[in-house]
Every structure is written in structure tokens, then in C-alpha cells.
Structure 1
Amino acid sequence: MPALSFPDKFVWGSATSAYQIEGATSEDGRSESIWDRFAKTPGKIVDGTNGDVACEHYHRWRDDIALMKDLGLMAYRFSIAWPRILPNGRGAVNEKGLDFYSRLVDGLLEAGIEPYATLFHWDLPQVLQDQVGGWQHRSTADAFVEFADVVSRRLGDRVKKWITHNEPWCTAFLSYEKGIQAPGFKDFRKALAVSHHVLLSHGLAVPVLRKNVPGAEVGITLNMNIAVPASPSAADHDAARHYDGYFSRWFLDPLYGRHYPADMIADYIALGHLPPEGLTECKPGDLEIIATQCDFLGLNYYSRAVLRSTKVPEEQNLPRTVHVQPASEQTEMGWEVYPDGLRQLLIRLTYEYGVQKLYVTENGAAYSEAPDKNGRVPDQRRLQFLRDHFIAARRAIDAGVPLAGYFVWSLMDNYEWDRGYSQRFGIVWVDYETQRRIPKDSALWYKGVIAANAVDDGNAPAT
């Protein structure tokens, strides 16, 4: 099939996060995280499981690096568990925790794999939640900077790519508005305070990382999707505007020097989520700190959102001109498969926000497959999902997008947060009873993509 080549030095990798794969949650001085507490709260996790064991990566990291090397990965994005490094949230450093990540980084570099370290992928030390309410309180931003300082001073001689936060929308809204993720509150006002303190901590940490790490590239990762009105009606267009502000612009705009979106401040005041004076947590100078220039932006993309206004009674029967894909075109998370949304977002970030360097830091699909009688794991749907999204990324590059790399989510099946072990995103199959790993067909196909630095376009040549 015809091949679409990617630019020279394009980075192909995969990604994981600490709580989802490490296990060993009470070993070597690690303290309790908000996810340890949340996962053991009855009714919070779909299958009632937790991350105590997960993929045992804490003990099997050497084998996992060997697996990455065999697949030809050029880079590996992982997160660092804050409770392993500062068990009290601040203050005393747990050297055993730092030693683990130091060994991991050395192992990656020896295998020719560049480490991309994410500092916060949701596992806040429970002690900070108990003491000050976690990210609701401004002091947690200062604690995060302390964490970033400790980690970067230890690893910065070898790790040059740093991501401060993974998906602040989830940290704020899934966790504090919807109550779906740890710590599990349902208070919109608290979620807005959290969003500000997370963004503030990012801006405060960037210069610390740069000071500690000569030649560092520092960024942040946002999860985004495109917001599409379900019909041409003004009501549906307004619903799409509001969703885009809630999900994307609330974070993008302050990061790129545009302050919080005025339309969203007005909406939140009107809805009673903010007082008349607005976001009172935002102090003088905060917006300048948040807008500290980054070296790149990470984009996590999985699907799109089609918005239907709730302000118009359904009995009015507005036409629905934008249809979501049928159930057969959804992943097992119930997310619509919509590759072109990735192209559209990458173009938007480039030309609307002027982002100078981009990575797709997560993209993947949850499908349940098991080894066949020959020990092979055929996962054609995931393979096709990745192919179509790689092609969309290449189309964005053709349009002038400065895309520097692509990290498939996830390296291996793991603990999928509130879904427990019920969803499998990995390109490597994991038997959670034995911890056996088997690269799926998608992983073997991806190995070929990396080797060729090209993806076939899915069209067989004419005969």
C-alpha cells in the first residue's frame, strides 16, 4: 500500500502513568495517594478494583523496557508518583522513590529510548488532600513546585523533556465537578478553584524546571476534542460554544496569554458557579505566571463532542444534521471514532493559538481482545484506529502543523481509573493474574511504522 512518510526526527513513542501500571503502592516509603483512597471507597470503581498491583511495573520495569526496545520505541512518556518522592506532600524526600525513577531513566537511555517525564498524572498525596483540601487550596501549587524542584534536580541531568500536568480538565472537572475521579467531589465552584491552582502551579514550575535542567523542553498536556453543534440552530451553536469554553478554552486561553474566556466567566456567573466578582482565586500577577511561555504543548485526543442544546425542548424536534457514528464505530469506552478531529485540533492549535511545537501525547482506543490458541492477540480495530489517526496527523503536518511526535496510549493494558481493569487500551496485552505481556497485532504493526517512519494510507495500489 502507498506509504505516507513523516518528517525526519519525528518521535514515535508510547505512554503510561504511575498509578495505572506501577503497583507497589505501599512499598519503599510511598505514601497514600488520593487514588489509593478513592479506589478503595465502595461504589467508586466500576469493577471494584484498585491499583495496588496493577501491572507490577515497579518490579518489572526492566522487562517492560526490553519490550519497548523490541518494538523500536524512540521515546517513552511516563509519570512520576508524587507520593513516592514526597510522602508528606512536602518536606522530607524519600530517596528510595527517586532511586526507582533514576534506575528507570538509566534503563531507558541504555535502550536508546528518550524519557518524557510527566510530573502530575492525578496521584496527589492524600496528606495534602486531608490537610488543605488538595488543589482547592493555593498552597498545593507551591507544594507542586517543591515536588518539581526535587525531581528535576535528581533526574534533570538525563531527562530533558518535561510535562508539568496531564489533562488539568480531568484534575478539575472530572474530580471536583462530576465526582467521577479522585477525590470525588461534585461542586462546580471547587472545580473552578482547582483549575486555577493547577494552571498556576504549572506557570510557577516552568522556570524551576528550566533552572534545574540545562537544555530542558517544558510543556503541559491538555485533553481536547472538537465541539460540533448538532444542527444549524442558534441554540446548538451556543451549546457548542459553551462546551468548547468549558473543555478547551478555559485552559488554552490563559496558557497562551488570553486570560480566562470572558464568555465563560459570564456564563459561570449567570449559572451561579462564580460570584459576581468572578474567579476570586485569580490574584494579581497570576495570569502572567500561567502564561509563562512553554516549549511545546501536548495534546491528548480520543473523540469529538456533538452538542445539542438543553435549552430547547426536544419536542420542537430540531433537525440533527451532525450525526455521531453508529455504535459499531465507537470504542468500548463509548467514544465515537472520529480521526479527522485530530487533524482539526492540531490545525486550530497551530493557527489560532500559534503553538510552535506540538506532540500528540495520548491517542488510542479501548477494545477487549484476548490471545487466540496460538498466543497471538489480533486487535484489528485498534490497529485501524491508530492508522486512521496517524494519517490524520500526517494531513495536519501537510497543512503546516509543527507536530514533533506521537505517543500511543497505552504501552500496555492497565488500570483505567474509575473503570478499573474493565477497559484495555494497551498495544500490549497483560494477563493480570500472571503479569504475562503479549504484544498485540497493533504493537507489531506499530513497530513497522516506527521502523519506516511512515504509515500506509490504507489504499491498495491499482492493479
Structure 2
Amino acid sequence: MPNSVRLLALSLLLVIGNYDDMRFFVFCVVDEYRRDDFPAEFVFGSGTSAYQVEGAVLEDGRSFSIWDTFAHSGLNYGVNGDIACDGYHKYKEDIELMADTGLEAYRFSISWSRLIPDGRGSVNVKGLQFYNDFIDRLIAHGIQPHVTLNHLDLPQILEDEYGGWLSRKSVKDFVSYVDVCFKEFGDRVLHWTTFNEANLFVLGGYDWATSPPGRCSSPFGNNKCSRGNSTSEPYLAAHNLLLAHTSAVRLYREKYKAMQQGFVGINLLAFCFEPLTNKTEDVIATQRANDFYMGWFMNPLVNGDYPEIVKKNAGSRIPSFTKLESEKMKGSFDFLGINHYTTLYVKDNPGSLEMDTRDVTADMALTYSGIEFPITEFPVLPLGLEKVLSYLKKEYGNPPIYIHENGQVQSCNGTLMDAPRVDYLHAYIGALLDALRNGSNTRGYFVWSFMDILELVGGYDYCYGLYYVDRADKELTRYPKLSAHWYANFLKGNNTSGILPSLKAKDTFSS
């Protein structure tokens, strides 16, 4: 979810970097390439998520999720997903657009609240029909379905009942929910992701209160939260997410793998971290940033426990795994999904460890540069993607990786001439090709996002879409941007250095 980059800008102390000093990265990657330069089995796609696109919030039996509650509290820039892009009703024409674009795969999430409105128990027939038809139509158009099981939208009824991810009860309910998904859709879905941006979800939701369920405690967070404990809840929620993920993987391997032959992974936000200077302190702080953002989840999944520096700085505030939990957790993923947007520059900040009360951010003992807020456009730093993939190869044994999100943010001003997005995608896909040639085990790439959708930060004012959604039109008509034409041109086998096709629609729309 691209919002996470901006959540970080909202929630951390940022030293504004100089973009001009970083432009040299653009020229360090492959500039000219075709689809055929990538392995035939490599998959290219795009994606969205349920709450951001579906709408129909209380239609056909769906109940509220924690994202609904968060949005209706006014914390989501005063907007909500009650209608969103009306994807619940317009999915047939959206899939036609996907096919026209040449997508080989589409990443989407299932709304737990739509499928099982009470959080557990009876399956909603209407919700089941919707996702069955959605998946069938994707496959009929030659598009692989890649499913995220939870994208910030735990059913609100479970949050109210026992505190959601703060309770171990969430593990059992999550496993029951994914069991339904595996049973009902697993004959056609081969790629399952348990959680989207698990690392940023627990920070935004339980430390900064910038995402659902909007919990934090003073002096941390966004000043608007009235409940929570920023010092301990992020660690507790992350612990339960890891246990839930591991249990879901174990369920799939024991009950469904032999018959369905699918794969289950987890998704994390992956910044490229670079030391701001060549001082030893900043180099060490950079590794600490990687340990807290990636290692917090990856180390347990690979080695069975949290990184030593995370345990040391968090102390008694971070839960411990039992020996049995640790053993079960090792190797409990078939792939890693990463969302990557930009590079951050790290400076050591040991003073934060001297605070009487600390949250996760203070435990990291560092500050960042490289993002200017409000973010209107990411700098084009594709070497950062190469470095992330190289780090994962070296640190975690080169696991199978899907780049689930990568894309350029721009204001939703109605223009279809999004040349900066084309420049960004062209550079990052070139960097990906270079990483593959250097041995990265990356299996797929998904542009975020297929269309302009509700964003967690920025609402409908900041857009990542290949397709513009005309919100002034009651039909919410979709129009291809220049980037959609470029991506389609690439997917259909043309050289990326060739002349881009001209747009077939008017260039701008007034909202």
C-alpha cells in the first residue's frame, strides 16, 4: 500500500534530503528492454485492494471493517470507501480493461467482512458469489489471481469483541477465515498473501494512529487517538500477526497443498536504506533500520526469532516465542511480497534511547532524510530497488519474491498525460531486470495501482493509477493514462525505447 511511505513521513522526524544529489541513480539501470528479456514464467500485473476499490460497503450482507470505522471517524482525510470506485458493481468492465492492458496477473484482496460478516461462522453467500465470479472472470481472460487475505480490514465486530490483533483470539479466527478462502477459491488461486505491509500496518495502526484501527498514546501518534499504548501494542500486534501467518501457512501445507499446489507468503514494505554519511554510526544505524523494518518479520520467519537489536532495544515490551512457536515459524513462507517506492537516508540518533518512555520509532534510534512532505512525487531512484533485492538475497537466502507494489504518486488533477509515472515505471522495471540478471529470485512485478483509488493518506487527492477515475461522473468512468498505454505497450512485447502510442481520449478532465 503506497500510503505507507507517506505514513512514515507523517510519523517520523524527517530531515529533508536534496533530490538533485540522488538523480545519478537513474542512469545505473537497464534503459532499453522488452517483455521477452524477462523469463517467460515471470509475471507482470497490477493491483488494488478491497476497501480501496469495491465500495458497496453495507450491500449484500457486508459488515463494517476497522478501515470503515477509521474512515468514518474522520481520520482518513474526511473521506471513506462507501462507494470508492464502485468496483463491486463495475468489476466486469474493469477486468475487460485489465485484459486490454495485457495484464498477466492481478493482485486484489478479499474483504473478510464481505465473506464472513460476523468475523466467524456463517459464510455470506452473496460475498462468496462475488469473489467466485471475480476469480472466474480473471482466469477466463488469461489473468492470474493473486489474493491478499487481509489488507487492513479486520471485521470491526472482532475488534469490538476482543481487541482484534492485540488478542491471541485473532489467530484462531484468522485461520478459520483463511480456511474458507482456501477451500472455496484454492482450486483456482495459487498465490496467497496473508497480510499486506504487516510491518507498516502495526506501526500505523498501533503506534502512530495513522491507519486502522487508529491506536496510539501520548506523546506519540497523531494527537487524535484516545486509546492505545504506543510503547507495547505495535510489538504485541506484530507478534500475533506472525503467529496468525504461521498458522495459516501450516493449515495450507497440511490440508490443501498436496491437492491445490499453491503458495502462501507475506507482504512487507521495503525501503532502501542508505547511510546519510560514511560515519560508522550511520552505517550501523542503517543496518538497524533494516532490522526493525524487515528483520522484525523476516528474522522470525527465517531464523525463528526477532533480531537481537530489536529484542535489546524493545526489552520486556516485545513478546517472546516459545520454543515450539519458534520451530514452527522457521520457513513458514513460500514467497515474500514487497512493496517498494523510494530510498531513505539514515542518520544515527542515540538520544532517542534515553527517553523515559519509548515507542518503536524511538527504539530504532535513528532519523531519516529523502522524503519531503507532502509528497507530490517520488524521486526516481531505481537503484534502490536493486539494492533491496540484493539485500534480501544476501540476508535471507534469496527467497522467491513478488514485487507487489511499485509506482509513482501524483495529484489527482485529471490529467492523462502522466509522463513522470512513465519515467518512474520505465526506470524501476529496468532496475528489476538488472537485479534478475544478477541472480535475484524475483518472480513477478505489480504496478500500484491499476486505477485511481481511495488512498489511506490523501484520500482521493493523491493517485497512483494507470487509469484515471472521473469522480465528477456518476458512472465513475475509467480512462487510460499515458502510463497505461506505456505498460500495455511493454506487456505486448514492444521495445520500451519506442515512440509511445498517442492517447485516444481527451487529455484532461475537470473534477
What TM-score, normalized by structure 1, do the two folds share? 0.89
Instruction: Report the equivalent of 2:9.
Output: none
Q: Is the 8 A contact 2:376 2:411 kept in 1?
A: no
For residue 360 of structure 1, what is the amino acid of its counterpart? I
Instruction: Report the equivalent of 2:172.
Output: 142
Instruction: Report the equivalent of 2:492.
Output: 451
For residue 51 of structure 2, what is the amino acid of its counterpart? Y
The structural deviation recorded for 1:457 is: 10
Give me the whole-angstrom Cα distance separating, in 2, the residues matched to 1:354 and 1:453: 34
Q: Give 2:209's match in structure 1, choosing from 171, 179, 187.
A: 179
Matched residue of 2:445: which SS? strand
Instruction: Report the equivalent of 2:256.
Output: 212
The structural deviation recorded for 1:287 is: 2.0
Instruction: Report the equivalent of 1:421.
Output: 460
Indicate how the Cα distance of structure 1 residues 248 and 333 shifts in structure 2: closer, same or farther if over 3 A, else same.
farther
The structural deviation recorded for 1:431 is: 1.1
Q: Is residue 29 of structure 2 the alignment partner of residue 29 of structure 1?
A: no
Instruction: Report the equivalent of 2:306.
Output: 260
Matched residue of 2:187: which SS? coil
Indicate how the Cα distance of structure 1 residues 325 and 179 shifts in structure 2: closer, same or farther if over 3 A, else same.
closer
For residue 353 of structure 1, what is the amino acid of its counterpart? Y
Give me the whole-angstrom Cα distance separating, in 1, the residues matched to 2:495 and 2:332: 32
Give me the whole-angstrom Cα distance separating, in 1, the residues matched to 2:409 and 2:178: 32
Give me the whole-angstrom Cα distance separating, in 2, the residues matched to 1:197 and 1:336: 35
The structural deviation recorded for 1:194 is: 0.5
Give me the whole-angstrom Cα distance separating, in 2, the residues matched to 1:345 and 1:121: 23
Matched residue of 1:452: which SS? coil
Q: Is residue 481 of structure 2 the alignment partner of residue 440 of structure 1?
A: yes
For residue 273 of structure 2, what is the amino acid of its counterpart? A
Q: Give 2:345's match in structure 1, choosing from 293, 306, 311.
A: 306
Indicate how the Cα distance of structure 1 residues 391 and 293 shifts in structure 2: closer, same or farther if over 3 A, else same.
same
Give me the whole-angstrom Cα distance separating, in 2, the residues matched to 1:288 and 1:449: 44
Give me the whole-angstrom Cα distance separating, in 1, the residues matched to 2:393 and 2:425: 22
Q: Is residue 15 of structure 2 the alignment partner of residue 15 of structure 1?
A: no
The structural deviation recorded for 1:335 is: 4.5
What TM-score, normalized by structure 2, do the two folds share? 0.81
The structural deviation recorded for 1:108 is: 0.5
The structural deviation recorded for 1:212 is: 2.9
Indicate how the Cα distance of structure 1 residues 356 and 455 shifts in structure 2: closer, same or farther if over 3 A, else same.
farther
For residue 246 of structure 1, what is the amino acid of its counterpart? F
Give me the whole-angstrom Cα distance separating, in 2, the residues matched to 1:74 and 1:51: 27
Q: Is the 8 A contact 1:296 1:355 kept in 2?
A: no
Give me the whole-angstrom Cα distance separating, in 1, the residues matched to 2:497 and 2:440: 20
Give me the whole-angstrom Cα distance separating, in 2, the residues matched to 1:324 and 1:206: 37
Give me the whole-angstrom Cα distance separating, in 1, the residues matched to 2:371 and 2:311: 35
Q: Which runs of 5+ in 2 are unaligned?
A: 1-30, 217-229, 353-366, 500-511
The structural deviation recorded for 1:218 is: 1.6
Q: CA RMSD in A?
A: 2.3
Instruction: Report the equivalent of 1:318.
Output: none
For residue 483 of structure 2, what is the amino acid of its counterpart? S
Q: Is residue 192 of structure 2 the alignment partner of residue 152 of structure 1?
A: no
The structural deviation recorded for 1:451 is: 1.2
Instruction: Report the equivalent of 2:504.
Output: none
For residue 24 of structure 1, what is the amino acid of its counterpart? A
For residue 223 of structure 1, what is the amino acid of its counterpart? L
Give me the whole-angstrom Cα distance separating, in 1, the residues matched to 2:341 and 2:375: 12
Give me the whole-angstrom Cα distance separating, in 1, the residues matched to 2:56 and 2:368: 45
Give me the whole-angstrom Cα distance separating, in 1, the residues matched to 2:159 and 2:414: 41
Q: Is the 8 A contact 1:39 1:49 kept in 2?
A: yes
The structural deviation recorded for 1:419 is: 2.1
Give me the whole-angstrom Cα distance separating, in 1, the residues matched to 2:243 and 2:57: 28
Instruction: Report the equivalent of 1:45.
Output: 76
Q: Is the 8 A contact 1:228 1:306 kept in 2?
A: yes
Higher deviation after alignment, 448-457 or 27-36: 448-457
Q: Give 2:319's match in structure 1, choosing from 279, 295, 298.
A: 279
Indicate how the Cα distance of structure 1 residues 245 and 326 shifts in structure 2: closer, same or farther if over 3 A, else same.
closer
Q: Is the 8 A contact 2:346 2:368 kept in 1?
A: no
For residue 392 of structure 2, what is the amino acid of its counterpart? L
Structure-to-structure mapping, 1:327-342, within 5 angstroms: 332-333=375-376, 335-342=378-385
Q: Is residue 129 of structure 2 the alignment partner of residue 99 of structure 1?
A: yes
Q: Is the 8 A contact 1:324 1:336 kept in 2?
A: no
Give me the whole-angstrom Cα distance separating, in 1, the residues matched to 2:204 and 2:336: 21
Indicate how the Cα distance of structure 1 residues 369 and 414 shifts in structure 2: closer, same or farther if over 3 A, else same.
closer
Higher deviation after alignment, 238-247 or 391-400: 238-247
Indicate how the Cα distance of structure 1 residues 457 and 122 shifts in structure 2: closer, same or farther if over 3 A, else same.
farther
Matched residue of 2:410: which SS? coil
Q: Percent same amino acid at aligned positions?
A: 37
Instruction: Report the equivalent of 1:317.
Output: none
Matched residue of 2:195: which SS? strand
For residue 162 of structure 1, what is the amino acid of its counterpart? W
Aligned residues: 435
Q: In the TM superposition, what whole-angstrom CA distance separates every residue of 1:189-217 from its partner, at most 9, and x where no partner exists? A: 01101001111111100132342351112
Give me the whole-angstrom Cα distance separating, in 2, the residues matched to 1:305 and 1:29: 43
Indicate how the Cα distance of structure 1 residues 383 and 447 shifts in structure 2: closer, same or farther if over 3 A, else same.
same
Q: Is the 8 A contact 2:267 2:339 kept in 1?
A: yes
Instruction: Report the equivalent of 2:401.
Output: 358
Q: Is the 8 A contact 1:141 1:197 kept in 2?
A: yes
Q: In the TM superposition, what whole-angstrom CA distance separates every residue of 1:25-80 from its partner, at most 9, and x where no partner exists? A: 101111110011111113x122x100100000000000100000000101001000
Give me the whole-angstrom Cα distance separating, in 2, the residues matched to 1:398 and 1:457: 23
Instruction: Report the equivalent of 1:203.
Output: 246
Instruction: Report the equivalent of 2:294.
Output: 248
Higher deviation after alignment, 303-312 or 10-19: 303-312
Instruction: Report the equivalent of 1:122.
Output: 152
Indicate how the Cα distance of structure 1 residues 283 and 335 shifts in structure 2: closer, same or farther if over 3 A, else same.
farther
The structural deviation recorded for 1:323 is: 10
Indicate how the Cα distance of structure 1 residues 250 and 416 shifts in structure 2: closer, same or farther if over 3 A, else same.
same
Give me the whole-angstrom Cα distance separating, in 1, the residues matched to 2:244 and 2:57: 25
Q: Which runs of 5+ in 1 are unaligned?
A: 314-321, 459-463
